[in-house]
């Protein structure tokens, strides 16, 4: 078969300003990184609490490698389950006040494993239009009818729910913090609607875990909605600075997923050292009020500074701070100019965000210091 379309499709992406390429880091993750050979201030990572290169977590991982080796060697159900996996799940369940937790190898795999396990061609999945791609892919894989409502539009959500046959199996699924906009889902309203219309509720706390809630449990904890959310999913790859993901819920949910979730069943268990590292990260998160306070302070300072410069930060209320540019080519040009000034901020373009909403996506972490933020604001002022 001819592969000519590869070249022509990539050329088209280039002409639209949406071509992507990889940059390589030669340093650990952090507020300063060496990227493509250059030391830059980093405003791109999801390492919100600065734990990706934390000495205590590294030590825990190294010790676990000594004790358990590196690879797990098999899927969880065959013979890849080791005690760090089991203990991590026990601790996650305690942390989230749920009966059980189940760990997946990544957030992408969790979303593409949970939704198809629970929903089938006779079910309906209903989600916010700006939900993460992994949720969308999970819904598509499930073969359920897939309804999407305009971003945070509760009236539209209710209109969809009203029309569904009573007794149909349905799930509402939403990000808690939207990954490219940094705004919050109206979770109280969503929980109320899910109860009224008998829908299961799944919340993706990828960006909320570690960041929101007094012990870092996410938006669900912050709003006290634990009892109303059937499926609390989150990643260990962002604020926890590790890798992997979790789902917290009832014992029967865990049992069901172990038996039916293909991305859990048909993949090698996460390396035990990652699970062990995540256990310590969870403890640091639980005790990390000071980290969350620093993070919030940094985010508020930067948000106020950006607004003062006249930038449109959309409805961000979190450490994810978009600067709406609209045009993809212009967003890339701005990112390049900042890079020349020693600052790394990614341009985010369609299809990751809707057409006409290309943006710079800034993320701030607890590891940033005030001078970093001032340096960024100064560079943006003359952009």
Active site residue ranges: 179, 207, 238
179 lies in the binding site for ligand PLP (CB under 6 A): yes
Determine if 284 is a binding residue for ligand PLP (CB under 6 A): no
Q: By three-state DSSP, how is residue 211 classified?
A: coil
Select from 232, 237, 328, 365 the one that contacts ligand PLP (CB under 6 A).
237
Q: How near is the Cβ of 135 to ligand PLP at its closest, in Å?
A: 7
Residue 241: which residues within 8 A CB-CB, separation 6 or more?
A: 29, 47, 49, 50, 51, 52, 53, 54, 57, 281
Does 107 participate in binding ligand PLP (rule CB under 6 A)? yes
Of 50, 76, 81, the C-alpha closest to 258 is 76
Which of 225/245 has CB closer to ligand PLP? 245
Contact of 126 with 160, CB cutoff 8 Å = yes
Residue numbers 315-344 binding ligand PLP by CB under 6 A: none
DSSP secondary structure of 236-298: SSSTTSS--EEEEE-HHHHHHHHHH-HHHHTSBPPPHHHHHHHHHHHHHHHT-HHHHHHHHHH
Q: Which is nearest to 339 in space by CA: 379, 302, 299?
A: 379
> What are 281's two structure tokens?
């990260």
By CB under 6 A, the residues from 239 to 278 that bind ligand PLP are 245
Q: Does 132 bind ligand PLP (CB under 6 A)?
A: yes
Residue nearest to ligand PLP (CB): 107
346 binds ligand PLP (CB under 6 A): no
Residue from 51, 101, 206, 380 in contact with ligand PLP (CB under 6 A) = 206
218: phi > 0 → left, psi -120 to 50 → alpha, else beta; which? left
Residue 39: what are its φ and ψ, rounded to 5°?
-75, 120
Closer by beta carbon to ligand PLP, 115 or else 373: 115
Which of 42, 81, 112, 235: binder of ligand PLP (CB under 6 A)? Answer: 235
From the list 10-18, 21-29, 104-112, 253-261, the region that binds ligand PLP by CB under 6 A is 104-112
**Contact set with ligand PLP (CB under 6 A):** 106-108, 111, 132, 134, 175, 179, 204, 206-207, 235, 237, 245
């Amino acid at each position: 078969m001819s592969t000519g379309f590869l070249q022509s499709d990539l050329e088209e992406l280039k002409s639209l300003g949406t071509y992507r390429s990889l940059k390589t880091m030669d340093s650990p993750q952090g507020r300063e990184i060496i990227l493509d050979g250059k030391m830059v201030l980093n405003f791109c990572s999801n390492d919100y609490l600065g734990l990706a290169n934390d000495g205590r977590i590294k030590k825990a991982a190294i010790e676990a490698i000594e004790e358990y080796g590196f690879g797990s060697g098999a899927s969880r159900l065959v013979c890849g389950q080791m005690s760090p996996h089991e203990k991590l799940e026990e601790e996650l369940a305690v942390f989230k006040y749920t009966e059980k937790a189940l760990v997946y190898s990544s957030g992408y795999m969790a979303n593409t494993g949970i939704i198809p396990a629970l929903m089938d061609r006779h079910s309906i999945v209903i989600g916010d239009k700006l939900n993460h791609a992994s949720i969308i892919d999970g819904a598509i894989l499930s073969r359920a009818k897939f309804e999407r409502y305009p971003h945070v539009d509760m009236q539209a959500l209710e209109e969809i729910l009203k029309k569904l046959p009573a007794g149909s199996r349905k799930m509402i699924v939403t990000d808690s913090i939207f990954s490219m906009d940094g705004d919050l889902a109206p979770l109280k309203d969503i929980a109320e609607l899910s109860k009224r219309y008998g829908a299961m509720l799944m919340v993706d706390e990828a960006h909320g875990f570690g960041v929101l809630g007094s012990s870092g449990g996410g938006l669900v904890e912050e709003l006290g909605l634990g009892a109303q959310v059937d499926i609390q999913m989150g990643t260990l790859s962002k604020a926890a600075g590790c890798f992997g993901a979790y789902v917290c819920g009832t014992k029967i949910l865990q049992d069901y997923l172990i038996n039916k979730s293909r991305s859990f069943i048909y993949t090698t268990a996460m390396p035990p050292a990652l699970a062990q590292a995540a256990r310590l990260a969870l403890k640091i998160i639980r005790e990390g009020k000071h980290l969350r306070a620093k993070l919030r302070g940094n985010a508020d300072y930067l948000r106020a500074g950006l607004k003062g410069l006249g930038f449109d930060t959309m409805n961000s209320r979190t450490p994810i701070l978009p600067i709406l540019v609209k045009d993809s080519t212009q967003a890339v040009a701005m990112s390049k100019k900042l890079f020349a000034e020693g600052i790394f901020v990614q341009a985010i373009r369609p299809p990751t965000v809707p057409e006409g909403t290309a943006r710079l996506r800034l993320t701030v972490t607890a590891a940033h210091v005030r001078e970093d933020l001032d340096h960024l604001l100064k560079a943006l002022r003359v952009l």
